[in-house]
Amino acid sequence: MDSTLIVVQFVLGILITIAVLLQKSSSVGLGAYSGSNESVFGAKGASGFLVKVTVVLASLFVINTVALAYLFSTGKNDSVVDSVKMETPATPAGNSQERPPAPPAVPQAPAGN
């Protein structure tokens, strides 16, 4: 499910980019290449239609972003430290009567004559 929502997120991002670039601006932009769309979408042109498409795509993008954030935040409750296995000592901890090993003996230097 996570991977599906990520793919939808990328597709929505690309579609929003296309919808924004096709809109007419003061410098015309890429809207100049969609001049034939004006007769299809009415006398006002494609600007009203593209604005509505952009608003719908942006809303879907925000909803998808919130859904992804929720899924990733609930799925990651465990810490990496929790998965590390700690080594236990070879001797049981409850056996306190054993003596610790004696330190190694230090050799004596030979006496000088």
pLDDT tens-digit series, residues 50-93: 889 999 999 999 999 999 999 888 766 666 777 777 776 665 55
Residue 10 pLDDT? 96
Half-sphere exposure of 110 (CA within 13 A, CB side): 2
Per-domain residue ranges for the chain? 47-76
Alpha helices in the chain (DSSP H): 2-22, 37-40, 47-74
Other beta carbons less than 10 A from residue 84's beta carbon? 7
Cα angle for residues 5, 7, 9 (degrees, 5° grid): 70
Which amino acid would we find at residue 13?
A: G
